[in-house]
Chain A
Amino acid sequence: MSTFSYSKNDTQTSHTCYHCGEDCKDEVLHTDNHTFCCEGCVLVYDLLKESDLCRYYTIDGAQGISPDPGFFNGKFDYLDLPEVASKLIEFTDGKLTAVNWYLPKMHCSSCIWLLEHLYRLNPAVRSSVVNFPEKKVRITFEASQIRLSALATLLTRIGYEPYLSLDDLEGKQKQKWNRVRIYKIGIAGFAFGNIMMLSFPEYFHLGQSTSDQDLRLLFGALNFALSLPVLFYCAADFFKSAWSALKGRYLNIDAPIALALLCVYLLSLYQFIFQTGPGYFDSFAGAVFFMLIGRYFQDKTYAGIAFDRDYKSYFPVAVSVLNADTETRKPITELQKGDHILVRNEELIPADAVLKSAKALIDYSFVTGEAEPVERTKGDTIYAGGKQKGTAIELEVLQRVSQSYLTQLWNNEAFNKEKGDPNQTLAGRINRYFSLTVLGIAVVTFLVWFFVLNNHETAFLAFTTTLLVACPCALLLSSTFTNGNLLSLFGKNRFYPKNAHTIERLSHIDTVVFDKTGTITLSDDAVIDYVGRDLDIDELTIIKTLAVQSSHPLSRLIVKHLPGIAVSRRELSGFTEVAGKGMRALWGKTEVKIGSASWVGVTLEEGEANRNSEVFVSINGQITGQFTIKSKYRPELAETILALKKAGIQTFLLSGDKPTDREYLTGIFGDASAIHFEQKPQEKLDFIQKLQNQGGNVLMVGDGLNDAGALRQSEVGLAVSDDINNFSPACDAIVEGAQLSLLPAYIRLAKSGQRIIKQSFAISLLYNVAGLSFAVTGALSPVIAAILMPLSSITIVAFTTAASNIAASRATGKLTNVINRQV
């Protein structure tokens, strides 16, 4: 097998694009002493220069975005339809209008700068404010000066295409951020601090004089007043959740907390009314404050990442509808049976339809997992979800979008049930035993004081203070803070779990199932070999120049794999392309053909055809050779699987694709029975279910809609995405493609997390034993309670944070070594 015959000396020095920072692979354009990789980047540069916004490039880490070449005029025309616009507009007073758009391409501080200077690009924009974590920009503009479609076009032209999904059009935007939670923390903290301060005199023993008695009454009354909002507002969620659990006849983690809080509050109220003591208002407010912080910390998730997308966010919002040769954009929800639609290169087919054009090349990889685009001819039915590659095609809609074949998967029950019972969490289970034990101790204490020692007053005091010091809030804190810290540690390693429950389920995983296409293969890269006689630099130039003309994925890959070759500006004459066959053109007098075997005139032997994708080249009727294109596997794949196996985890492969590379994959997975090809989405889901019925805890790794069912059915559905802002199906966690090799480390870290929770339970138990020994003897004074409670909380928070940080650096440290070895 020979390689390309050009030597290193022939290749030009590499150029970096001034705008997007990528290497210039296809061509090099020069403007103003800067080099650019494509026309798109030059256009953005010109636009910014015109508005004097070139400071953009001087900001640290500035890396522009090459605008989407698939953009065409009129793409956003549907935004001007009143019924569409009204759903997207956040606010309007007739003159000024505001929209809050999600711009997934936003990635650095220079993006913020550019987007907040939109008014320089178009004076009709009054202001634009970026929310970077959510990747949103709120634009206020004069509705009479600029239309919504023009605004969207402006953003797209500078590279930030707004992401508009069907959910937006159906008015189902979710409010992710909950301000109520912050109000509650603020008020609980305020009450805690002030009650603490007003309790100090009591700690240091007020005297018995009249004025001291008056002060005691005043302090008590103020403490009582300050505790009211804590009880009725801040702690309301604990009571509500405990009550609904009790109604459902089970104990959740909030039930013992609510019971303890209620007991402490009633005891304090009793002491305040009958002037028998100062009460435990400070401990009460403190416990609520710390628990709210813990919950906030745990529930803080990644605002910019969507985990719950379904097919609707994958579909375009509008399609081009042909009506007697005029083209209009129409929201796909209004698409009717019989409509004629026009689908361009790289656009998605939104509904099941019949092909009206002569030929189409449909890429179903996202829907079925098939790696190669399939050819369809006039009259064929094309299912929704495929992507057209090549020239625009015309289709007649067969069914409404909501009834298409693809959307049927979402009717499976797996999509309707919530994953994992939150009451089955480690903290929940331990808490149940813990609560019963504490309740037992409290009852025994009460009975002993009441009947044996015959001291009724102390009996009640001992009973309630037992519940107070054993307050399971320390237990709650240990799990919330551990999980909260793990969430951010996972995020730093570019693994994004949806919530804390995911981490716990991840720690129980014993089976990992992989999808093939796009998951363990690289979606944008391939292994290309050239077999045949050596090509000289001129011939390579001809091949690249010809391949650049085509949008066929194989042509794009060939272009990408001839990086050092310049595309000639020379006109090709007699260029013809036949979709699914190949291309032909004249280079001067030389006739060049690139394409399938039959196109260039090669006869393949039986069985040889279609094993791999092959592109043949013929120059002047002479076959020079062929490019074979194989999907490229992630380089660390073998090592990852090996590490999983060592950890005692079973591995499987489910592919929707044809059985290619079976030997290679068997070598990696070790067993031919672990590999399954040509699996339909429903079969994938059933396979996971079968593993679960055998008692497996399954982690499914997938990337496309064809995995959506399996991701939903598995204990942990992990979506792989090379750009976390791209579409990924509904899942429990998202990982960046390059980080997939860290999967064993992620599972190990989740396991350490569970261990840390258990250890901090042990610590809080020590405090409880100390506190209980005071409480059962009836000697727990408010001072000791006030010291024990925050001390135990702070110790636990410090311990879990430190321990989980150490665990994370250990788990990922080992793997960075692995990666370094490979580099």
Chain B
Amino acid sequence: MSALYLLIFASLIVALGFLGAFIWSVRRGHFDDDYTPSVRILLDDNPEDAN
């Protein structure tokens, strides 16, 4: 049965990790603008930019 306890805590820690990642991303402003990045990714840079 002790394996069960271990697994429960492991799963909780993983879940908390995701919650932490979510809070970090909100704090970094990832949720402030949900439109522009979807356009930006389709706009190519000019070739000379790449150098």
Contacts and interface: CB of A to CB of B under 8 A. Distances in A.
Contacts of B15: 190, 193-194
B36 A112 contact: yes
A57 to B, nearest CB: 13
A193 B35 CA distance: 28
Nearest to B22: A186
Q: DSSP majority for the A interface?
A: helix
A183 B23 contact: yes
Interface string A177-209: 101001100110010011000100000000000
A190 B36 contact: no
B50 interface: no
Contacts of B34: 133
A134 B26 CA distance: 17
Given A133-B33, A194-B15, A59 B43 contact: yes
A186 B36 contact: no
Interface string A578-592: 000000000000000
A132 B33 contact: yes
Contacts of B40: 112, 116, 130
Given A109-B42, A131-B33, A222-B12, 6 more contacts: A113-B43, A182-B31, A183-B26, A194-B15, A198-B8, A218-B8
B33 A211 contact: no
Given A113-B43, A132-B35, A194 B8 contact: no
Nearest to A186: B22
Contacts of B1: 211, 215
A130 B33 CA distance: 9
Contacts of A193: 15
Given A183-B26, A186-B19, A194-B12, A109 B35 contact: no
B32 A177 contact: yes
Given A55-B46, A109-B43, A112-B43, A131 B36 contact: yes
B40 to A, nearest CB: 6
Contact of B26 (A113, A186, A194): A186
Interface in B1-51: 1, 4-5, 8, 12, 15, 18-19, 22-23, 26-27, 31-36, 39-40, 42-44, 46, 48
B26 A131 contact: no
Contacts of A194: 12, 15
A671 interface: no
Nearest to A303: B33
A375 interface: no
B26 A130 contact: no
11 contacts: A112-B43, A116-B40, A133-B34, A133-B35, A183-B23, A186-B23, A190-B18, A190-B19, A215-B1, A218-B8, A222-B8
B22 A132 contact: no
Contacts of A198: 8
Interface in A316-336: none
Contacts of B43: 59, 109, 112-113, 116
Contact of A215 (B4, B33, B36): B4
A384 B34 CA distance: 41
Given A194-B12, A218-B8, A131 B32 contact: yes
A211 B40 CA distance: 56
Contact of B46 (A52, A131, A133): A52
A119 to B, nearest CB: 10
Interface in A115-147: 116, 130-134
Contacts of A130: 36, 40
B25 to A, nearest CB: 10
Contacts of B26: 179, 182-183, 186
A114 to B, nearest CB: 10
Most buried by A among B19, B36, B42, B46: B36
B39 A218 contact: no
Nearest to A52: B46
Nearest to B45: A117
A198 to B, nearest CB: 8
A218 B6 CA distance: 12
A55 B49 CA distance: 13
A801 to B, nearest CB: 19
Contacts of B35: 132-133
